[in-house]
Structure formats: structure tokens, C-alpha cells
Structure 1
Amino acid sequence: MTLSANGLFWSAGGTTILSDVSLDVRPGEFLGIIGPNGSGKTSLMALIAGIRRPQRGDVLLGGKPLQAHGRREIAQRIAFVEQQAETTERITARQAVELGRTPHLGALTPWSKADDAIVDRALEEVDMAHFADRLWHTLSGGERQRLHIARALAQQSPILLLDEPTNHLDIGHQIGLLQLVREQDLTVVAALHDLNHAAMFCDRIAVMQGGRIVALGTPAKVLEPQRLHDVFGVTVDVERDGAGGCFIRYRRPDPRPPRLKLVAGEGN
């Protein structure tokens, strides 16, 4: 199943958020989207997930405009994990994950033992099976985030979209979760903050700045010191290994010059 964006434009409150964004997601790849806050990552994710409709341009799923697909059909093909998806309903952890099966249920396809097995496996994969009976409002932010991932896995859609999926997670669960996603037989698009996570897990990386994609390619090609300085305002060293991978080492900023103190009477 292919997913692509062509000439997307989105604005809000008179401010342009995305401008002429085009992107082809290759089937089976792990594509990372990086960029500073306000660069348009979350808006792009919402558009390609079908949560919002672009004001100009098209999102194509399987070669057809997204709006030509029904909501159920889209949900069967795209699972989306948002940054902050909450509920006020008194549901358990397991019930939250069971929601991932909704696109596959109907009058002729009621809940079955197969659905139970899918939910069980998803809970186990994110290390939350032992919390299955806990109420949602009693869980930490990190535990809820892992359940969002489990719900998306239970959805069994071939395309998985993740908007900053490692929010609220400790470092062990961050790496474990990205490795879990990497091992799935899925097409993955993930907006990521950690550049080393992008380098470790992504096949390709799209760099966003000012609502546009300014670079797209393999981590070793895209994660260059000058580009990271231009986009993020940081000074880095990029270490490369013989297998085509890379690691980013940040340099501490130069100390700021001391501020001059005005003596009483000066400056008048």
C-alpha cells in the first residue's frame, strides 16, 4: 500500500504552517521526519493520516485521493498514534487497546477469539500485559503512550504513523519501542525529536524547516553537521561507521560573553 503527499499547503490563523510539501513513502520503509518545533511535523502527520484535509494539494493512499476512501477503509490501512490522545471514559488498559480492532468489526464480523489473541499479543509486545485491568486514569504518561502503540499494533494496518512516539518514555522504553516498530512488517512514518533515534532506526529521513522539506535521504546523507547547524542551531560532530550508520555528538555551546554592568550615572 503506497502513501504519498503532493504539494500540501496548510495554514492556521493567517500563518502558513506547510507550504508545497511533497513526499513519497516507500512500502516497507521506516521514514523519519525531523525538524525544530514549529517546523510543521505534526501538521504534516495529521494531513497524511486524514485527520485534516489539506487546503491545497493531495494525499494519495494506494494511488487514490485520501478523501475517496471511507473512514473505515482508511482506518484499516492507516494506524495513527498522536502526541496527545486522551479519554475521559473510565476504561481499562485492555479496553483502550481493544479499540484498535474497531475498524475490523461489523454486523457480519463480531468480536472473536482471534481479536482477543491480537490484543493479548499487542499488550505483551509493549510490556503492558500486567496492567491490562488497570483503569486508564491511574496510568502514567509513559504507560498510556505504550498503550497507544499497542492499540495501533492491534489495528493491524499496513501503514503506521507515529507523532513523537517516545514522549513520556524512559530511555529503555524509547529504544525498545522503536526497535519493536522497526521489526514489524509495516510501512512506518514517525516524527522524531531525537536525532540519534532517527539515525539508528530510520531508512530515510525528511528534514523540515519553516513548513517545507529541505532535505530527504538516508541518515548518513541527511545528518550532516552544517545542515544540523542551519536547521537546529546546534554544533555537532557526526561519527560514521563502516556499515553506513552514523551517530551525532553534540558540542556544548560557547560560553556567552559576560554582561556589562552599568555603573550608577552611566548611560545618561
Structure 2
Amino acid sequence: MTLAANGIYWSVGGAAILSDVSLDVRPGEFLGIIGPNGSGKTSLMALLAGIRKPQRGEVMLDDKPLLAHGRQAIARRIAFVEQQAETTERITARQAVELGRTPHLGALTPWSKADDAVVDRALEEVDMTHFAGRLWHTLSGGERQRLHIGRALAQQSPILLLDEPTNHLDIGHQIGLLQLVREQELTVVAALHDLNHAAMFCDRIAVMQGGHIVALGTPAKVLEPQRLADVFGITVDVERDSAGGCFIRYRRPDPRPAKLKLVAEAR
């Protein structure tokens, strides 16, 4: 199962959000997408998921234009967890995860015990079995996020797209969720804010800036101090280990000059 973006362009109100973006996702890899706010990560994820159509260029799924597959066929192949996905329906936690089975149901394939088993397993994997009967609106943001991941796992699509999947999660669940995703036999594309999460879990990382991909490669190759300074405006030390991994240690910014502080205080 292959997914690729070929020279895609997307704009809003005449302002380019993505410009000539090309990306081949390798089967079975965990690909991270990093970049500052406004760099185009969420727009790229929406285009890869088929929620939006490029104004130029094409997203390809198995060497065929993505949207030519049809909505149900796409959903059977690609599961997408959006950054902000909510509902006003009075549904339980379990019913939220059951929605992941929708692409597999039809007149000739009604709900079965096999579907129940898939949902049970997904709830267990995201540590939400004990919340199965709780109503959606009574759950915290972190609990809802874990259910979104559970719904995607219940979808059993070979490609999983995650837009900021660790939002609202405490650090334990952030690490646990990314490890869970890493252990699945899936092709994963995840937009991530935490650079050390990207270093820990990703096979490759694409760096976005101003609607372009400015670097693509292994974490050790991509996460370099000068590149992070250029893209994020931060000063870091990158520690590397013998296994080829890396860890980013952030430096505190230099103090503002006293003269600038006095001007600011006068205002």
C-alpha cells in the first residue's frame, strides 16, 4: 500500500499554504512531519487523507489518484485522526470507537461478533475499556483523544495519519500512545510538535517551513542544531548515541538586553 504527494499546491484566500510539496511514504514506516505553527503540516495531512483536493498536483494511493478510489474505499485504506475532531451527539466512549468499523459495514456485511472483538481490542489498546459506557461529553480532552486513536485502530486501515496525536495527553500517555502506534503493522504519518518524540519513534522526518518540505531523512540526519535554529528559531544541543539515535537538549534563550527591557517597561 503506497501513498505519495506529487507537486501539490494548496492556497487559502490567495495565500499559498503548501507549494510544490512532494513526498513518498514508504510502506511500513513511521514518518514524522515537524515544523512551526503555520508551516502547512495540518493542510498536508488533510490532503493526504483526501479531505481536501489539491489545487495543483496529485495525491496518489497505490499509483492511482486518491479521490478516484471513492470515500469508502479510501476509509478502508486510510484512517485519519484529526487535531480537532468533536461531536455533539450523545454517544458513549464505546460507540465512538465503533464508528471505526463503518467503512467495513454494508447491506451484505452487518455488524457481527467479529466487529465487537475489534472494538474490544481497540479500547484495551488505548486503555479506555473501563470508560466504555461513559458519555462522550463527560470525558476529558485526553480521554477523547485516546478514543480517537482507538477509533482509528478499530478501522483496521493499513495507513494511519495522525495530526498532533498527543495533544491533551499527559506525558505517560503520550509516550505510551506513540509506542502503541509504533508497534502496529501499519504505515504511519504523524504531524508532531515534540521534536524528541519525533527522534524517538520516527524512521524518517520531513521538516516543513513556509509551506515547503525543507529536509527529509532519518532523525539523526535531519535534527541538526543549525537546521532547528533556522526553522524554529531555537538554540539546541543534539546528543547522539552509538545506535544512531539522538536527543535534543534545549538551551534557554539569551536574556534580553537591559535597554530593550527599559523601553518595554516604559510602554
1:71 and 1:16 map into 2 onto residues whose CA distance is: 27
Q: 1:14: how far off?
A: 1.6
Structure 1 equivalent of residue 243 of structure 2: 243
Per the normalisation by structure 2, the TM-score is: 0.97
Per the normalisation by structure 1, the TM-score is: 0.97
1:27 and 1:67 map into 2 onto residues whose CA distance is: 20
1:28 and 1:188 map into 2 onto residues whose CA distance is: 7
1:21-54 per-position Cα deviation (integer Å, ceiling 9, x unaligned): 0000000000000000000000000001000000
Structure 2 regions of 5+ residues with no counterpart? none
Structure 1 equivalent of residue 56 of structure 2: 56
* Structure 1 counterpart SS, 2:255: coil
2:67 and 2:127 map into 1 onto residues whose CA distance is: 36
Map residues 58-97 of structure 1 onto 2, 5 A cutoff. Answer: 58-97=58-97
* Structure 2 counterpart SS, 1:6: strand
Structure 2 equivalent of residue 266 of structure 1: none
Q: 1:259: how far off?
A: 3.1
Q: Which runs of 4+ in 1 moved over 6 A?
A: none
- Which has the larger Rg? 1
Structure 1 regions of 5+ residues with no counterpart? 263-268
2:40 and 2:84 map into 1 onto residues whose CA distance is: 16
1:123-163 per-position Cα deviation (integer Å, ceiling 9, x unaligned): 00000000000000000000000000000000000000000
Opposite residue 184 of structure 1, the aligned amino acid is: Q
Q: Does 1:259 align with 2:259?
A: yes
* Structure 2 counterpart SS, 1:42: helix
Opposite residue 222 of structure 2, the aligned amino acid is: V
1:157 and 1:4 map into 2 onto residues whose CA distance is: 16
1:36 and 1:225 map into 2 onto residues whose CA distance is: 15
Q: What value does the CA root-mean-square deviation take over the aligned residues? A: 0.7
* Structure 2 counterpart SS, 1:152: helix
Structure 1 equivalent of residue 142 of structure 2: 142
1:160 and 1:56 map into 2 onto residues whose CA distance is: 24
1:150 and 1:67 map into 2 onto residues whose CA distance is: 25
* Structure 1 counterpart SS, 2:248: strand
Q: Does 1:220 align with 2:225?
A: no
2:18 and 2:224 map into 1 onto residues whose CA distance is: 24
Opposite residue 75 of structure 2, the aligned amino acid is: A
Map residues 84-163 of structure 1 onto 2, 5 A cutoff. Answer: 84-163=84-163
* Structure 1 counterpart SS, 2:258: coil
Instruction: Using the aligned pairs only, state the percent identity.
Output: 89
Q: Does 1:21 align with 2:21?
A: yes
* Structure 2 counterpart SS, 1:259: helix
Aligned length: 262
Structure 1 equivalent of residue 43 of structure 2: 43
Opposite residue 233 of structure 2, the aligned amino acid is: G
Structure 2 equivalent of residue 210 of structure 1: 210
